[in-house]
Structure 1
Amino acid sequence: MSIKNITVLGSGVMGHGIAQVSAMSGYNVVLRDIEQQFLDKAMEKIKWSLEKLVTKQKITLAESDAIFARITTKVDLKEAVKDADMVIEAVPEIMDLKMKVYAELDKVADSNVIFASNTSTLPITEIANTTSRPDKFVGIHFFNPPQLMKLVEVIPGQKTDPQIVQATVDYVRSVKKEPVICKRDVPGFIVNRLFIPMVHEACWLKQRQNLTLEQIDSAVKFRMGFPMGIFELADFTGMDVIHKATIELHLRDKKVIFPHPEIERLYNEKKLGQKSGEGFYKYSDEKYERVQLDEGLASKCNPIQLVANIVNNAAWLVTNKASDIEEIEKAAQLGLGLKKPIFETAREFGMKNIVSELAELAKKHGQFYEPDPLLVSMQ
Structure 2
Amino acid sequence: MAIERITVLGSGIMGHGIAQISAMAGYKVVMRDIEQQFLDKAMERIRWSLSKLVEKGRISGDEMNSILERIRVTVDIEEAVKDADLIIEAIPEDMRLKKETFEKIDSIAPSHTIFASNTSTLPITEMAGATKREDRFIGIHFFNPPQLMQLVEVIPGARTSKSTLDVAINYVKSLRKEPILCRKDVAGFIVNRIFIPLVHEAAWELKEGKAGMREIDAAFKFKLGFPMGIFELADYTGIDVVHKATKEMYARDRKVVNPCPIIEDLYSKGHYGQKSGRGFYEYKQGSYARVELSMQEAERYDPVRLLAVAVNNASWLISNDVAGKDDVEKALMLGMGLKEGIFGLAERTGYARIVDTLKGLRDSSRNDFYEPDALLLNLVKG
- Normalized against structure 1, the TM-score is what? 0.98
Unaligned runs of 5+ in 2: none
Map 1:63-82 onto structure 2 (within 5 A): 63-82=63-82
Map 1:147-186 onto structure 2 (within 5 A): 147-186=147-186
Is 1:375 the counterpart of 2:379? The answer is no
Map 1:63-102 onto structure 2 (within 5 A): 63-102=63-102
In the aligned structure 2, how far is the partner of 1:48 from the partner of 1:285? 21
Is 1:233 the counterpart of 2:238? The answer is no
2:243 corresponds to? 243
In the aligned structure 2, how far is the partner of 1:170 from the partner of 1:237? 28
Counterpart AA for 2:87: V
Counterpart AA for 1:248: E
What is the Cα-based RMSD across aligned positions, in Å? 1.1
In the aligned structure 2, how far is the partner of 1:187 from the partner of 1:102? 20
Cα deviations by residue, 1:56-97 (Å, 9 ceiling, x for unpaired): 111000000000000111222222112211011111111111
Is 1:26 the counterpart of 2:26? The answer is yes
1:202 corresponds to? 202
Counterpart AA for 1:369: Y
Counterpart AA for 2:45: K
Counterpart AA for 1:372: D
Counterpart AA for 1:371: P
Q: Is the 8 A contact 2:274 2:287 kept in 1?
A: no
In the aligned structure 1, how far is the partner of 2:237 from the partner of 2:214? 18
In the aligned structure 1, how far is the partner of 2:39 from the partner of 2:287? 27
Q: CA deviation at 1:209?
A: 4.4
Unaligned runs of 5+ in 1: none
Is 1:135 the counterpart of 2:135? The answer is yes
Q: Is 232-241 or 202-211 further displaced after alignment?
A: 202-211
Q: CA deviation at 1:37?
A: 2.3
Say which SS state the counterpart of residue 154 (structure 1) adopts.
strand
Cα deviations by residue, 1:321-349 (Å, 9 ceiling, x for unpaired): 11111001111001001011110011111
Say which SS state the counterpart of residue 333 (structure 1) adopts.
helix
Q: CA deviation at 1:210?
A: 3.1
Map 1:277-292 onto structure 2 (within 5 A): 277-285=277-285, 287-292=287-292
Say which SS state the counterpart of residue 107 (structure 2) adopts.
helix
In structure 2, relative to structure 1, the CA distance for the partners of 1:306 and 1:124 (3 Å cut) is same
Q: CA deviation at 1:289?
A: 2.5
Counterpart AA for 2:373: D
Is 1:254 the counterpart of 2:254? The answer is yes
In the aligned structure 1, how far is the partner of 2:73 from the partner of 2:210? 53
Q: Is 136-145 or 39-48 further displaced after alignment?
A: 39-48
Say which SS state the counterpart of residue 357 (structure 1) adopts.
helix
In structure 2, relative to structure 1, the CA distance for the partners of 1:99 and 1:347 (3 Å cut) is same
Counterpart AA for 2:364: K
Counterpart AA for 1:20: Q
1:322 corresponds to? 322
Map 1:37-116 onto structure 2 (within 5 A): 37-116=37-116
Is 1:267 the counterpart of 2:270? The answer is no
Counterpart AA for 1:358: L
In the aligned structure 1, how far is the partner of 2:287 from the partner of 2:110? 47
Q: CA deviation at 1:235?
A: 0.9
Counterpart AA for 2:116: A
Counterpart AA for 2:295: E
Runs of 4+ in 1 over 4 A off after TM superposition: none
Cα deviations by residue, 1:158-209 (Å, 9 ceiling, x for unpaired): 0000111111000001011110010000000001011000000001122334
Say which SS state the counterpart of residue 192 (structure 1) adopts.
helix
In the aligned structure 2, how far is the partner of 1:10 from the partner of 1:142? 14
1:117 corresponds to? 117
Q: Is the 8 A contact 2:199 2:230 kept in 1?
A: yes
Aligned residues: 379
Say which SS state the counterpart of residue 300 (structure 1) adopts.
coil
Cα deviations by residue, 1:340-365 (Å, 9 ceiling, x for unpaired): 11100111110011011111111111
Counterpart AA for 1:65: N
1:299 corresponds to? 299
Identical counterparts, % of pairs = 56
Q: CA deviation at 1:287?
A: 4.3
In the aligned structure 1, how far is the partner of 2:354 from the partner of 2:186? 24
Counterpart AA for 1:374: L
Say which SS state the counterpart of residue 236 (structure 1) adopts.
helix
Q: Is 187-196 or 208-217 further displaced after alignment?
A: 208-217
Say which SS state the counterpart of residue 132 (structure 2) adopts.
coil
In the aligned structure 2, how far is the partner of 1:15 from the partner of 1:207? 36
Counterpart AA for 2:38: F
Cα deviations by residue, 1:75-130 (Å, 9 ceiling, x for unpaired): 22222112211011111111111011011100001111000001000010000011
